[in-house]
Protein backbone atom coordinates (compact mmCIF):
# COMPACT_ATOMS: atom_id res chain seq x y z
CA UNK A 1 0.00 0.00 0.00
CA UNK A 2 1.22 3.50 -0.83
CA UNK A 3 0.85 6.50 1.42
CA UNK A 4 0.90 9.85 -0.26
CA UNK A 5 2.34 12.70 1.78
CA UNK A 6 0.26 15.63 0.66
CA UNK A 7 2.16 18.36 2.46
CA UNK A 8 3.43 21.03 0.11
CA UNK A 9 7.17 21.43 -0.05
CA UNK A 10 9.22 24.33 -1.32
CA UNK A 11 11.97 22.86 -3.46
CA UNK A 12 15.36 24.47 -3.18
CA UNK A 13 16.33 22.92 -6.51
CA UNK A 14 19.81 22.22 -5.09
CA UNK A 15 20.66 18.76 -6.48
CA UNK A 16 20.57 16.14 -3.73
CA UNK A 17 19.52 18.50 -0.96
CA UNK A 18 15.76 18.25 -1.50
CA UNK A 19 16.02 14.47 -1.26
CA UNK A 20 17.67 14.78 2.15
CA UNK A 21 14.81 16.94 3.44
CA UNK A 22 12.05 14.81 1.89
CA UNK A 23 11.26 17.08 -1.02
CA UNK A 24 11.97 20.59 0.16
CA UNK A 25 11.37 23.16 2.89
CA UNK A 26 8.10 23.54 4.76
CA UNK A 27 6.01 26.53 3.57
CA UNK A 28 6.63 29.70 5.66
CA UNK A 29 9.62 28.10 7.39
CA UNK A 30 12.80 29.85 8.49
CA UNK A 31 15.88 27.74 7.74
CA UNK A 32 19.40 28.17 9.02
CA UNK A 33 22.47 27.41 6.89
CA UNK A 34 25.57 27.52 9.07
CA UNK A 35 29.23 26.90 8.51
CA UNK A 36 32.74 28.24 8.66
CA UNK A 37 34.26 30.77 6.27
CA UNK A 38 34.20 29.70 2.63
CA UNK A 39 31.98 26.65 3.16
CA UNK A 40 29.42 27.78 0.55
CA UNK A 41 26.70 29.54 2.58
CA UNK A 42 26.39 32.47 0.17
CA UNK A 43 26.32 30.24 -2.91
CA UNK A 44 23.64 28.09 -1.24
CA UNK A 45 21.49 31.19 -0.70
CA UNK A 46 22.04 32.54 -4.21
CA UNK A 47 21.16 29.15 -5.73
CA UNK A 48 17.94 28.95 -3.67
CA UNK A 49 16.86 32.38 -4.93
CA UNK A 50 17.91 31.75 -8.55
CA UNK A 51 16.12 28.39 -8.74
CA UNK A 52 13.04 29.96 -7.20
CA UNK A 53 12.78 32.58 -9.92
CA UNK A 54 13.82 30.48 -12.90
CA UNK A 55 12.24 27.11 -12.09
CA UNK A 56 9.44 27.65 -9.61
CA UNK A 57 8.20 31.14 -10.60
CA UNK A 58 8.76 32.46 -7.10
CA UNK A 59 10.20 35.96 -6.74
CA UNK A 60 13.19 36.16 -4.40
CA UNK A 61 14.85 38.75 -2.21
CA UNK A 62 18.50 38.46 -1.18
CA UNK A 63 19.60 40.64 1.71
CA UNK A 64 23.27 41.15 2.38
CA UNK A 65 24.90 43.10 5.17
CA UNK A 66 28.09 43.23 3.13
CA UNK A 67 28.34 46.43 1.20
CA UNK A 68 29.34 45.09 -2.15
CA UNK A 69 26.23 43.86 -3.93
CA UNK A 70 28.15 43.93 -7.22
CA UNK A 71 30.55 41.27 -5.94
CA UNK A 72 27.59 39.17 -4.91
CA UNK A 73 25.99 39.47 -8.32
CA UNK A 74 29.33 38.68 -9.94
CA UNK A 75 29.59 35.52 -7.80
CA UNK A 76 26.14 34.54 -9.05
CA UNK A 77 27.04 35.30 -12.65
CA UNK A 78 30.15 33.13 -12.36
CA UNK A 79 27.75 30.24 -11.68
CA UNK A 80 25.73 31.17 -14.78
CA UNK A 81 23.01 32.96 -12.79
CA UNK A 82 22.41 36.32 -14.42
CA UNK A 83 20.34 38.17 -11.83
CA UNK A 84 20.01 41.25 -14.08
CA UNK A 85 17.65 39.29 -16.35
CA UNK A 86 14.90 39.35 -13.75
CA UNK A 87 14.73 42.90 -12.38
CA UNK A 88 11.11 42.57 -11.30
CA UNK A 89 11.37 39.16 -9.66
CA UNK A 90 14.79 39.02 -8.14
CA UNK A 91 16.39 41.66 -5.99
CA UNK A 92 19.62 41.88 -3.99
CA UNK A 93 19.78 44.60 -1.37
CA UNK A 94 22.40 45.84 1.02
CA UNK A 95 21.40 46.89 4.52
CA UNK A 96 23.94 48.63 6.71
CA UNK A 97 24.51 46.65 9.94
CA UNK A 98 24.60 49.93 11.92
CA UNK A 99 21.05 50.69 10.83
CA UNK A 100 19.64 47.48 12.20
CA UNK A 101 16.88 49.24 14.16
CA UNK A 102 14.83 49.84 11.01
CA UNK A 103 15.71 46.55 9.33
CA UNK A 104 12.51 44.57 9.95
CA UNK A 105 10.34 47.45 8.65
CA UNK A 106 12.42 47.70 5.52
CA UNK A 107 12.44 43.94 5.01
CA UNK A 108 8.64 43.75 5.18
CA UNK A 109 8.34 46.58 2.64
CA UNK A 110 10.81 45.00 0.23
CA UNK A 111 9.10 41.59 0.49
CA UNK A 112 5.68 43.13 -0.18
CA UNK A 113 6.90 45.22 -3.11
CA UNK A 114 8.56 42.28 -4.80
CA UNK A 115 5.85 39.81 -3.72
CA UNK A 116 8.80 37.68 -2.67
CA UNK A 117 8.21 34.03 -1.85
CA UNK A 118 11.86 33.35 -1.02
CA UNK A 119 14.14 35.41 1.19
CA UNK A 120 17.80 35.00 2.09
CA UNK A 121 19.45 36.94 4.90
CA UNK A 122 23.21 36.70 4.68
CA UNK A 123 24.28 36.63 7.49
CA UNK A 124 23.17 36.75 11.12
CA UNK A 125 26.85 37.22 12.01
CA UNK A 126 27.00 40.58 10.24
CA UNK A 127 23.41 41.39 11.30
CA UNK A 128 24.47 41.36 14.94
CA UNK A 129 27.78 43.10 14.37
CA UNK A 130 26.73 46.61 15.38
CA UNK A 131 24.58 45.62 18.35
CA UNK A 132 26.04 46.39 21.72
CA UNK A 133 25.58 43.11 23.57
CA UNK A 134 24.30 39.55 23.27
CA UNK A 135 20.97 40.48 24.81
CA UNK A 136 20.34 43.02 22.05
CA UNK A 137 21.42 40.56 19.37
CA UNK A 138 19.00 37.94 20.66
CA UNK A 139 16.15 40.43 20.94
CA UNK A 140 16.65 41.60 17.34
CA UNK A 141 17.04 38.05 16.03
CA UNK A 142 13.80 36.96 17.69
CA UNK A 143 12.05 40.01 16.24
CA UNK A 144 13.42 39.24 12.77
CA UNK A 145 12.46 35.57 12.85
CA UNK A 146 8.99 36.30 14.24
CA UNK A 147 8.43 38.77 11.38
CA UNK A 148 9.62 36.22 8.79
CA UNK A 149 7.34 33.51 10.16
CA UNK A 150 4.30 35.75 9.77
CA UNK A 151 4.96 36.37 6.09
CA UNK A 152 4.00 33.86 3.41
CA UNK A 153 7.53 33.12 2.24
CA UNK A 154 10.32 30.67 2.93
CA UNK A 155 13.55 32.06 4.25
CA UNK A 156 17.15 31.08 4.72
CA UNK A 157 19.37 32.71 7.30
CA UNK A 158 23.08 32.11 6.97
CA UNK A 159 25.37 32.13 9.97
CA UNK A 160 29.10 31.92 10.24
CA UNK A 161 30.45 29.61 12.90
CA UNK A 162 33.79 30.73 14.21
CA UNK A 163 36.19 27.82 13.97
CA UNK A 164 34.12 26.11 11.30
CA UNK A 165 31.73 24.06 13.41
CA UNK A 166 32.14 20.63 14.83
CA UNK A 167 31.68 17.84 12.32
CA UNK A 168 30.18 15.64 15.06
CA UNK A 169 27.30 18.09 15.37
CA UNK A 170 28.27 19.03 18.91
CA UNK A 171 29.02 22.60 19.91
CA UNK A 172 27.46 25.79 18.67
CA UNK A 173 25.45 25.64 15.44
CA UNK A 174 25.37 29.36 14.75
CA UNK A 175 27.18 32.59 15.44
CA UNK A 176 25.05 33.71 18.40
CA UNK A 177 23.84 30.33 19.60
CA UNK A 178 20.15 31.27 19.33
CA UNK A 179 19.47 31.04 15.60
CA UNK A 180 19.25 27.22 15.70
CA UNK A 181 16.53 27.26 18.36
CA UNK A 182 14.22 29.59 16.52
CA UNK A 183 14.82 28.19 13.02
CA UNK A 184 12.68 25.36 11.64
CA UNK A 185 15.69 23.58 10.17
CA UNK A 186 19.46 23.68 10.57
CA UNK A 187 21.90 22.67 7.85
CA UNK A 188 25.63 22.65 8.51
CA UNK A 189 28.28 22.98 5.83
CA UNK A 190 31.80 21.83 6.71
CA UNK A 191 35.23 21.13 5.48
CA UNK A 192 35.65 17.56 6.65
CA UNK A 193 39.40 17.96 6.57
CA UNK A 194 39.82 15.00 4.24
CA UNK A 195 41.00 16.94 1.23
CA UNK A 196 40.13 16.14 -2.38
CA UNK A 197 36.61 15.49 -3.61
CA UNK A 198 35.06 14.54 -0.34
CA UNK A 199 36.33 17.56 1.50
CA UNK A 200 33.07 19.53 1.47
CA UNK A 201 30.31 17.99 3.53
CA UNK A 202 26.71 18.83 4.40
CA UNK A 203 24.55 17.65 7.26
CA UNK A 204 20.96 18.46 8.22
CA UNK A 205 21.03 18.63 12.00
CA UNK A 206 17.34 19.27 12.59
CA UNK A 207 14.23 19.92 10.59
CA UNK A 208 10.86 20.39 12.21
CA UNK A 209 8.13 18.17 10.72
CA UNK A 210 10.62 16.43 8.43
CA UNK A 211 12.32 13.09 8.98
CA UNK A 212 15.49 14.15 7.21
CA UNK A 213 18.14 11.70 6.03
CA UNK A 214 20.79 11.56 8.72
CA UNK A 215 24.53 11.69 8.42
CA UNK A 216 27.17 13.54 6.46
CA UNK A 217 26.75 13.96 2.71
CA UNK A 218 29.58 14.86 0.34
CA UNK A 219 29.00 18.23 -1.26
CA UNK A 220 30.65 19.87 -4.25
CA UNK A 221 30.75 23.45 -5.44
CA UNK A 222 30.84 23.22 -9.22
CA UNK A 223 30.76 25.89 -11.92
CA UNK A 224 26.95 25.53 -11.82
CA UNK A 225 26.55 25.71 -8.08
CA UNK A 226 26.21 23.28 -5.19
CA UNK A 227 25.62 19.57 -5.72
CA UNK A 228 25.01 17.26 -2.76
CA UNK A 229 25.77 13.60 -3.40
CA UNK A 230 23.10 11.30 -2.05
CA UNK A 231 23.37 7.66 -2.97
CA UNK A 232 20.14 5.74 -3.41
CA UNK A 233 19.15 3.84 -0.29
CA UNK A 234 21.88 5.56 1.68
CA UNK A 235 21.06 6.29 5.32
CA UNK A 236 17.45 5.13 4.93
N1 LIG B 1 33.22 28.07 -9.83
C2 LIG B 1 33.57 27.49 -8.69
N3 LIG B 1 33.98 26.22 -8.68
C4 LIG B 1 34.34 25.63 -7.54
N5 LIG B 1 34.33 26.22 -6.34
C6 LIG B 1 33.95 27.48 -6.29
C7 LIG B 1 33.53 28.18 -7.45
N8 LIG B 1 33.19 29.45 -7.08
C9 LIG B 1 33.37 29.49 -5.75
N10 LIG B 1 33.83 28.34 -5.28
C11 LIG B 1 34.14 28.01 -3.87
O12 LIG B 1 33.13 28.56 -3.05
C13 LIG B 1 33.74 29.16 -1.92
C14 LIG B 1 32.97 30.39 -1.49
O15 LIG B 1 31.69 30.05 -1.16
P16 LIG B 1 30.79 31.10 -0.41
O17 LIG B 1 31.19 32.49 -0.71
O18 LIG B 1 29.39 30.71 -0.65
O19 LIG B 1 31.20 30.75 1.09
P20 LIG B 1 30.64 31.40 2.42
O21 LIG B 1 30.37 30.26 3.34
O22 LIG B 1 29.53 32.33 2.12
O23 LIG B 1 31.91 32.19 2.94
P24 LIG B 1 32.00 33.45 3.93
O25 LIG B 1 31.88 32.89 5.32
O26 LIG B 1 33.35 33.99 3.66
O27 LIG B 1 30.90 34.39 3.58
C28 LIG B 1 35.08 29.59 -2.38
O29 LIG B 1 35.96 29.50 -1.29
C30 LIG B 1 35.45 28.61 -3.45
O31 LIG B 1 36.20 27.57 -2.87
MG1 LIG C 1 29.25 34.37 2.46
Neighbouring CB atoms inside 10 A of 46's CB total 24
Domain assignment of residue 178, yes or no = yes
Cα of 35 from ligand 1 centre, angstroms = 12
Determine the atom of ligand 1 nearest the C-alpha atom of 160: 25
What's residue 179's pLDDT?
Answer: 86
Domain assignment of residue 131, yes or no = yes
DSSP per-residue codes, 50-79: HHHHHHS---EEEEESSS-HHHHHHHHHHT
Give SS3 for 158: strand
Domain assignment of residue 136, yes or no = yes
Domain assignment of residue 80, yes or no = yes
- Give nearest CA residue, ligand 1 atom 23: 38
Instruction: Give the residue with greater pLDDT, 138 vs 12.
Output: 12
* CATH code, domain with 134: 3.40.50.300
Domain assignment of residue 7, yes or no = no
Determine the atom of ligand 1 nearest the C-alpha atom of 35: 21
Residue 1 has pLDDT above 50, yes or no: no
Structural domain harbouring 164: 17-228
* CA–CA dist 46, 100 (Å, integer): 22
Cα of 35 from ligand 2 centre, angstroms = 10
* pLDDT band for position 197 (cuts 50, 70, 90): low
Across the chain, mean pLDDT equals 89
* CA–CA dist 66, 198 (Å, integer): 30
Number of domains present in the structure of the chain: 1
Site residues for ligand 1, CB cut-off 6 Å: 35, 37-43, 78, 160, 221-223
Domain assignment of residue 171, yes or no = yes
Cα of 220 from ligand 2 centre, angstroms = 16
What's residue 70's pLDDT?
Answer: 94
What's residue 158's pLDDT?
Answer: 96
Residue 236 has pLDDT above 70, yes or no: no
Predicted confidence (pLDDT) per residue in 19-66, tens digit: 999 999 999 999 999 999 999 999 999 999 999 999 999 999 999 998
Query: Who's near 173: CB < 8 A, 6+ residues apart?
Result: 32, 34, 159, 161, 165, 179, 180, 186, 188, 205
Domain assignment of residue 41, yes or no = yes
Domain assignment of residue 167, yes or no = yes
Amino acid sequence: MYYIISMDRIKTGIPGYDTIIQGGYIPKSVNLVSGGAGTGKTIFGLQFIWNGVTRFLEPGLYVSFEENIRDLEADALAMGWDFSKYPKKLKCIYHAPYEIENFVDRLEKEINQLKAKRVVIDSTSTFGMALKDDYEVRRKLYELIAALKKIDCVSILTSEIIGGGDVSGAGSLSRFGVEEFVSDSVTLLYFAGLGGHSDRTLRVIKSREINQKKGLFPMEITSKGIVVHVKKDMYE
